[in-house]
Amino acid sequence: MTAVSTAAARRERILQQAVKQGLLDPEASLLAAFVDLDGIAATVSDLYDAFSDSPGALHAFAAKANSLVPVLSELNGLGMGCEVATAGELARALAAGFPPDRIVFDSPAKTREEIRRALALGVAVNVDSFQELDRIAQNLQNRPSRSRIGVRVNPQVGGGSIAAMSTATSTSKFGVPLADPGSRERLMRAFGEFPWLTWVHAHTGSQGCPLPLIAEGVAQAVGFAEQVDAAYGPGRVVGIDIGGGLPVNFAGDEVTPSFTAYVGHLKKSAPQLFADRRYRIVTEFGRSVLAKNGFMAAYVEYTKICGDRPIALTHAGVQVATRTVFAPDTWPLRIEAHDASGTAKPGPLVRQDVAGPACFAGDLLAGDRALPLLQPGDLVVVPDTGAYYFSTPFHYNSLPEPAVHGFRVDADGRIRFTLLRPAQDPWHVSGYDGVAVADLELAAVPAGESR
């Protein structure tokens, strides 16, 4: 018999209590998500401990990983900064209370208005291209700014096993390439021309990228900073934004690799970051902070057998697990089977499909997965979904956004839930199209009848 992990046992307790409190209900709440607020605090503590040799480091959470304002507010309260990539994420970061000097704005397509606002606020900006650099220079001619301004370099060290997550390839759309003919020299001249350009930023990639590759990308950025300092004097580059990218273990509950392991690789590849504390450090971790601190739970509505294959139709699918549904081999998720009370199901393992509610054949959370045989009314739990899943819904088939509940466990074992995002009413989604729900309901009443 496989031993139940501490994390799995904790999920089971949370699920059972959620059922008891009606946060999951087979008629009223078919799908819900849960965020472990205690777990987030522990993960952030691990992050700070790992970078203890750089006590002034700013750890800016990548908002794209989970942009819910209450979640961002929690991270703000834990002392983190926030990395944003769009105007919408910047607005959410400000709504969550992050001060502008702890916000980092990264985007390869910043508009003039976005640049103007960021510089007026004093938000840190990482320039992504020479053309953007010219825009910022024009803006600063008449409007001085408190913003820390850096440039994102592409170290061009290669990619990992997932091409879409690899941002330091020879042809990546991100950053100023360091190895292209003339590019490094042109960037060196920019540091000589613009005294406000004081930071260097690099991000090699995330899931699928091994730690040595990520660390080598940082080393290339540090090497460029040292080249700038050698040309223009010590201290010309103030800090290095090393990005994020720590991969997540989706195969089990073990947290691996750790932040400490990553720092070990950094100390080997770029010891200058820690040896003399010459450069201030900014990090931009996202998935590694939130993924394992969240899970989804959904009811099984129907089951059937087609061609000798058992199929369970659930209410979690492409709308909350978009990457997994469209790229199941790249983004596989674990599935746990529970009964209607939230208790883990025993019994022999049966290979079966776990499908979602969307109207296309590929809407599968898992295909041919060995689980205790699922039945209508059971619950399936999907761990490791605290980042990029339920927080980034896909509105296929006008499927509604599920409720998201934060939870804490008191010292006496009492579980306390906090609503982080209310469930979207499926009958009211037309409101997003500017159609008044009351008008639709009135139109449905036959002529001559009253309400």
Domain ranges of the chain: 6-36+292-433, 37-289
pTM: 0.94
Spatial neighbors of 254 by CB under 8 A, at least 6 apart, are none
pLDDT confidence of residue 451: 43
In the numeric block, the tokens 């606002």 are attached to 117
Name which of 37-46, 83-92, 439-448 the model is least confident about: 439-448
Residue type, 446: P
pLDDT at 440: 53
Q: Look up the CATH number of domain 6-36+292-433.
A: 2.40.37.10
pLDDT of amino acid 447: 55
Q: Which residue has the higher pLDDT, 179 or 445?
A: 179
| 37-289 CATH choice from 3.20.20.10, 3.40.50.300, 1.20.120.1200, 3.70.10.10 | 3.20.20.10
385/390 Cα distance (integer angstroms): 7
Please tell me which of 54-58, 147-151, 437-441 the model is most confident about, judged by mean pLDDT: 147-151
Which of left, alpha, beta for 12 (phi over 0: left; psi -120 to 50: alpha)? alpha
**pLDDT at position 436:** 66
Pairing label, strands 336-338, 280-283: unpaired
Measured from the Cβ of residue 319, the count of other Cβ atoms closer than 10 Å reads 25
Report the distance separating Cα 203 and Cα 106, nearest Å: 11
Q: Do residues 216 and 204 lie in contact, with contact meaning Cβ atoms separated by under 8 Å?
A: yes
Model pLDDT for residues 78-112, shown as the tens digit of each residue = 999 999 999 999 999 999 999 999 999 999 999 99
Q: Is residue 36 within 8 Å of 407, Cβ to Cβ?
A: yes
Nearest residue to 391 (alpha-carbon basis) of 310, 308, 286: 286
Kindly report, residue by residue over 185-206, the tens digit of the pLDDT.
999 999 999 999 999 999 999 9
Q: Which amino acid is at 276?
A: D
90 or 451, which is more confident? 90
Q: Please check the confidence at residue 441 and state whether its pLDDT lies above 80.
A: no
State the pLDDT at residue 87: 97
Whether the pLDDT of residue 354 is over 70: the answer is: yes
The b-or-e profile of 66-89 (16+ CB within 10 A means b, else e) is: bbbbbbbbbbbebebbbbbbbbeb
| Torsion angle defined by CA atoms of residues 69, 248, 388 and 18, in that order, rounded to the nearest 10 degrees | -70
Q: Could you report the per-residue pLDDT of 133-186, keeping only the tens digit for each? A: 999 999 999 899 999 999 999 998 899 998 888 888 989 999 999 999 999 999
